[in-house]
Amino acid sequence: MQLFAIIRTGVARARMAALLQNQILIMSSPEKIVIASRESQLALWQANFIRSRLLELYPQTDITILGMTTKGDQILDVSLSKIGGKGLFIKELELALEDGRADIAVHSMKDVPMIVPSGFRLAAITEREDPRDAFVSNDFTSLEELPTGSVVGTSSLRRESQLRARFPHLQVRPLRGNVQTRLRKLDEGEYSAIILAAAGLKRLELGYRISMLIPPELSLPAVGQGALGIECRDNDPDMVEWMKPLHHATTAYCVEAERAMSRVLGGSCQVPLGGFAEIFEGVLTLRGFVATPDGSKIIADKLCGKPESGERVGEQLAQNLKTHGAEEILAALA
């Protein structure tokens, strides 16, 4: 309103230009950025990746990483779905933002709750790495090859329900820990194969361990899988602005569609749910499913729309899933 009033007079217009220019100068480069990150190798890789990208943009800026341990990292003996779900990996980082120890937090979008708490905002969603799940085995090259009774490791209800539905002859056993720990458990012979996100393996230069990239038709990825999010304090508009160049619109449209779907479905780690959007020739296609944990029932559907209306596509797909049976599944899990 104030600006609008100023623009109306000629003199004020000149002042306005000066003001804007000043603003641009002030905005041009932050003095210092502290990045809050979890301390797992993958999280630190991701924080360092964002640090490098920011240094390309702002070479003068002093950018450091503040590593921290979160609840999700400490509790390793319990399945993720039983210890409070989403937000587990990011609350401590938000506390650091809140009290000014850090300026931004880097998250895997997969770990970010569907509703970002007030006081914070996602300033940028970065370009997606491979969103698929990876099949990793020392003895077999694909899921189809696994003999009856083979033990497959995963702690994700989403992966488990889809496995049980399509490969009922396999046994699914829990597998927690960071990427390296999970690979070690495979190598120690506890499992015939494990399933984890391809993005994490590729980032850590462990892509050579992937026996097969599982097509989304067989294992629909988690909402946000493969994308990173940069969270800022809501009351820090300069920082929000400085993060904008890292925002990747195509990824963001897809991730927003997926997140809107999950939000309407009350998505959390307790619900076996997957969502994955892609944009081809200007059309966004979102696929989603909700399942019973044992995979005995899977409600899946897809919906197309404009990328810019991704959120509405997500909300509508969620409604469609609900009317086709997801409502009962969700009610039984509540």
Ligand X SMILES: NCc1[nH]cc(CCC(=O)O)c1CC(=O)O
Beta carbons of 239 and 170 less than 8 angstroms apart: no
Residue closest to 191 by CA, chosen among 210, 211, 214, 175? 175
Q: Which is nearer to ligand X, 93 or 316 (CB)?
A: 93
Tell me how many residues contact ligand X (CB under 6 A).
9
Figure out which of the listed residues 143, 197, 284, 329 binds ligand X, where binding follows CB under 6 A. 197
Taking the C-alpha atoms of residue 285 and residue 9, their distance in angstroms, rounded to an integer, is 48
Q: Pick from 47, 146, 196, 303: which binds ligand X (CB under 6 A)?
A: 196
SS3 124: strand
- 36 counts as binding ligand X under rule CB under 6 A: no
Instruction: Kindly tell me which of 89 and 242 has the beta carbon lying closer to ligand X.
Output: 89
Token representation of residue 131: 């969103």
Q: Would you mind telling me the total number of residues written for the chain in this entry? A: 334
CA atoms of 21 and 181, how far apart (whole Å): 52
**Closest separation between CB of residue 50 and ligand X, Å?**
13
Q: How far apart are the first and last CA of the chain?
A: 46
Q: Which is nearer to ligand X, 109 or 305 (CB)?
A: 109
Of the ranges 24-32, 107-115, 304-312, 313-321, which one interacts with ligand X (CB under 6 A)?
A: 107-115
Stretch binding ligand X (CB under 6 A), from 24-32, 163-171, 194-202, 315-323: 194-202
Residue 126, both tokens: 């970065």
Q: Return the residues of window 110-139 that contact ligand X according to CB under 6 A.
A: 110-111
Residue 270 in the binding site for ligand X (CB under 6 A): no
The Cα–Cα gap between 32 and 30 comes to 6
Q: Which residue lies nearer to ligand X by CB, 194 or 329?
A: 194
**Contact call for residue 108 and ligand X (CB under 6 A):** yes
Q: Minimum Å distance from CB 232 to ligand X?
A: 19
Residue (197 or 220) nearer to ligand X, CB: 197
Selection from 191, 193, 202 nearest residue 225 by Cα: 202
Determine which residue in the list 199, 218, 243, 298 makes contact with ligand X, applying CB under 6 A.
199
Stretch near ligand X under the rule CB under 6 A, chosen from 26-34, 193-201, 259-267, 284-292: 193-201
Q: Is 236 a catalytic residue?
A: no
Pairing relationship of beta strands 298-305 and 104-108 according to DSSP bridges = unpaired
CB of 108 to ligand X, least distance (A): 3
Q: Which stretch binds ligand X (CB under 6 A): 108-116, 184-192, 231-239, 271-279?
A: 108-116
Give the x/- contact pattern for ligand X in 204-243, rule: CB under 6 A. ---------------------xx-----------------
Stretch that binds ligand X, among 95-103, 183-191, 192-200, 324-332 (CB under 6 A): 192-200
User: Measured at the alpha carbon of residue 183, what is the angle toward residues 213 and 162, in degrees to the nearest 5?
Assistant: 45
> Which 3 state secondary structure label does DSSP give 100?
coil
- C-alpha separations of 17 from 3, 22, 216, 248 in Å: 11, 8, 51, 29
Rounded to an integer, what distance in angstroms lies between the CA atom of residue 166 and that of residue 160?
Answer: 10
Q: Which residue has the tokens 């480069």?
A: 29
**Per the residue annotation, which of 62, 73, 111, 187 is the catalytic one?**
111
**Residue 147: how many other CB atoms lie within 10 Å:** 9
Q: State how beta strands 32-38 and 104-108 pair.
A: parallel
| Active-site annotation, residues | 111
- The residues of the shown chain that bind ligand X, judged by CB under 6 A, are 108, 110-111, 196-197, 199-200, 225-226
